[in-house]
Every structure is written in C-alpha cells, then in structure tokens.
Structure 1
C-alpha cells in the first residue's frame, strides 16, 4: 500500500491546529492510501505546542510525528525538516490554518495515481471552486509573481504561490532547498522546472482565505523576497 506524507509547518496556530488535524483525520484517500502526518512546530510562542500535545494524546491512532524547532526559522525551514523526515511515496504540503481543505487531497492525487504526473499544484485561480473574496492587491501580487516565475521556468502555471503542492517523494527529496521563509514557493518551482522529463499538473482547488486579524502572516516584504527568489533560482539558476 502506498503512503502519503502530509507535511504541516505550524507557527502560532493554537486556534486552528486541532481543527485542521480533525479534517485530515476524516479524509478517505483514493486507493486507500495510508496517511503519515509530520507536524513541524517552528518555535511557536502561543499555545500551539500544548494544543498539539493534547491532540496527540487524544488521537494516538493518527501516529503524528511531532518535531519542534528550537528557534523560529520560517516556513521554508519547517517544510525542509518535514520533507527530510517523510517516509511516504507521495508528499503534500498542508498549512496549519483552515485556508485549504484536506478533502481536496484526492483532486491532487488523481493525476499522480493515474500515472500522469510527478508534481501537482492546486490552483486557487482555475475556477469552479469556492474562493473567499479578500485582498485585491494580494491577488494582483500573486498573479504578478506567477507570471514572472513562468517567464523564467517556461511553465504556464496559474498559481505558483499556492500552498497545495504534491510531489512524488523521490522528486522533492532530491531537491536542495535553501529558502527558510516564503521563498520556498518560487525556489521549488524553479528547481522542479529544470528536472528533465518532469510532468507537472495543475488542478483547481478551493480557497478559504483569512484576514490578518484572523492570523494571516504573509506580507509585502515576503512578496519582495519571492521576487528576489524568482530571479535567484529562475534567472540565475542557483542550485
């Protein structure tokens, strides 16, 4: 039986961490894939660790692998830690908030399980799925970063910045990841685009975005870092 590794980076997500874990618990995967949850606490300063400990005690059957960074390193660093510890055949990234719905793992899984894809991106902009209406300039920024990334990767993605990225394990484990924060998205996109024969698919997903008052963390500085990373890994092709 194949196994999917669900990598969850968490920083100050005490209010939602148990809710997203409940959603993952309820998902029935295609082909009866087994689930492996790797939860990386990026040195949270709220009650995230306490909520996780309580959840693990109450749900031992989920077999959650819990890892904690001694200091806050960023989302990219947490993802790198999770990927290194993943033992599944397929790896998917899941934010610890409620912006993305684990019920849609099966949408991402289908092209891989049918033998068509090595990597699948979940696009918030392909239509046909619920999409919370929020920030105009964030949307413009996402489209601009995706467009600029596509110029250097020669891909035709609609949502490079999406959280939902799914990989066959041997693909993502063989990529040297350098970025510690939100630069992970353009870095990994640039590096997979250079793999000979790689098959990348994109599927439409829902998006239940949140406001800054509700805990959203990415800001304009991360947008400039993403643009820098597009140039660094896309134009200059840093390995």
Structure 2
C-alpha cells in the first residue's frame, strides 16, 4: 500500500514538471518571435535611414532664389571658362595665363555641382550658347540680362586679340565679369535657403574679390 502511494506521488511530480517545462518553452518561443519582429529602437532607426536616404539637394531644402542662382551662375561661369580657354593660346603674360587656368579650375567643378542641384530639384539645367549664355525659354540674352555678362560682340572681339592687347582686354572684361558674379552671389547669400548654395556664394564672393584685386594690379602695369 505504501509502495502504491509512492508511485502515485512520483507520477504527480513528473506531470507537474512536464507542465512547467511546456509553459516555459512557450514563453521562450513567444519572447523570441517578439524580439525578431520588433527590432531594438536604435536598429530600427538605422534601417529607416537606409530606406529613406537624404539627398544632397532635397526637395524641401531650397527656394526659388536658389534655383535662380544656379540657373544664372551656370552660364555665367561657362562664359568665364570660355574666356579663360582663350588665354591659353592668346595671352602673352604668364600671370594672365596662370590666372585664367585658376579661374577654369575653380569654376568648372562649380558648374557640375550646380547642375547636379538643378537635376535633383527637377529644374532645367541651362544649355550652352555661343557666348556662354543659355538657351532657356523666357530669358533675355542681351549683354545686360545678367551682371557682368559679355555680349557675343564682346566675346568675338576678345577672340580676335592676342599678346598685350588680349591681356589688357581679358583683365578688363574678367574684372567686370567677376563683379557681376559677386553681385549675384551676394543676392544668394541674402535670399537663398539652400545651405550648400549659400556656402558656394560666399566662396565666390571671397575668391573672386581676391582675383579682382590681383587683376587690378596687373592692369596697373599695362
């Protein structure tokens, strides 16, 4: 009789242990699946950042002034580069040739950068005209349409010069051209919203002001 009661107690203990093991296993499974389905907050944030990367020119990060700045400065820079290209074969002064090379080296990358902004914003990138002006609809292509911009006649005159005459004309025209660019850049600094464009505008004001000082010194020796 005692032996039978011992067997009953043992069976009851085994049943209780089995039930506890089942409950624990279920809890562990639930916890694991919950952890898998809901990653840690920090990890989740990283994934969202990967799914929605921020662009270099996000749609909400600019205003009409930024668009105007890029669309105006691109052809302005292109003309400066075209003028600089002429100096390689027409300038006499090594200083003028060096300055022209520096202008081209600085402004070519800025053209590419501003073109990238406009594409990212879904705006038109100016095409190339004979004098560096663009072919965008509704834009006045006269010499006075953009500060410091040379007319086709001005560019034709510069192409026909060489030696000392070219050097003098180049320095005079580029000084005026730079002054126009500085005016445009200051407008962007005051009214623009896109930080990289405002930073570029500040750089243009600084670098081209220094080049104007340099060109004035060269002209004084002509």
Q: TM-score range by the shorter chain?
A: under 0.3
**Which has a greater percent of strand?**
1
The structure whose Rg is larger is 2
